[in-house]
Amino acid sequence: MKTIKPEIPAAGIMKTSDYGDSKYYRISCQCGQPSDDIILNVDVDDHGITVHTWTTVKTCWWKERFNTFDSIHNPLIYTLKRIANDAINRTTVIWQVLTKGYIEMEAWTMMDKQQALNFAHTLETAIADVDQFRNDRKTKETPTLLKPDNVDEVLTDTYKV
């Protein structure tokens, strides 16, 4: 069996921004629909590393409420069916928000084995990169400690006495 290794550049993954302490990627869906892509952000601050993911979720707008008209091929009846179907689905979503305070939805991003491995490797690499950036920044921000043996040296360098 062929062993799959992460690719560089990674198929299906595009780095869109790199700010040192924050990296953004777009992970494309195999279906080619941009609204199914995942936007991945890995950032670091003094409290730790945060991974954000965004995707476009959709309601079940396609759900059929009226199956009784399937055998009728009249365009007017079909149009009326679609209008009623959409109105009921939208009303259902509004009712869920009013009664529960949230809507349960799902989103899918299809990946093949190689892209899934690239995604995992990208996430792992981004976490290591932003963590290293934070550690380097902390090292640079650490002030020089004044010890009795280097007080004059630090003062001389600082104030050019």
Predicted confidence (pLDDT) at residue 99 exceeds the cutoff of 90: yes
**Poorest-pLDDT segment among 47-51, 137-141, 146-150:** 146-150
Domains of the chain: which residue ranges?
1-57+107-161, 63-105
Q: Which of 16-30, 110-124, 128-142 has the lowest mean pLDDT?
A: 128-142
Residue pLDDT, tens place only, 35-67: 888 899 999 888 888 888 888 887 776 677 766
Non-local (6+) Cβ contacts of 161 within 8 A are 155
Two structure tokens written together for 17: 């921004």
Q: Which of 107, 106, 108 is nearest to 30 (CA)?
A: 108
Is residue 25 within 8 A of residue 132, CB to CB? The reply is: no
Q: Running DSSP on this structure, what letter comes out for residue 51? A: E
What is the pTM for the complete model shown?
0.61
Tokens of 39: 């936007």
- pLDDT given at position 161: 47
